[in-house]
Amino acid sequence: MFGGGNKIKLEKDLLDRIKRVAEVAGYASHEEFIIHVLEKELAHFEDASSDEDITEKLRGLGYIS
């Protein structure tokens, strides 16, 4: 699912948690679960009209201070 040679490194403990949750939630694979989560999070920011808007949304979610 992460075609094109793109790779993301995750800590083993995090990957184990992702795999467990993906299986319990009924996803076909942990990759499918990761893509779903990332798409859902990106949707919060894609409607932003400017970089400042994105920054404020990230700040509001506690990702940056």
**Predicted pLDDT at 53:** 79
**Model pTM above 0.75:** no
Q: How many CA atoms lie within 13 A of 34 on its CB side?
A: 16
pLDDT tens for 43-60 read: 877 877 788 877 887 788
**Predicted pLDDT at 3:** 58
Q: Where are the domains of the chain?
A: 12-60
What's the mean per-residue pLDDT of the chain? 86
**Mean pLDDT confidence for 15-20:** 97
Asked if 1 and 8 touch (Cβ cutoff 8 Å), the reply is: no
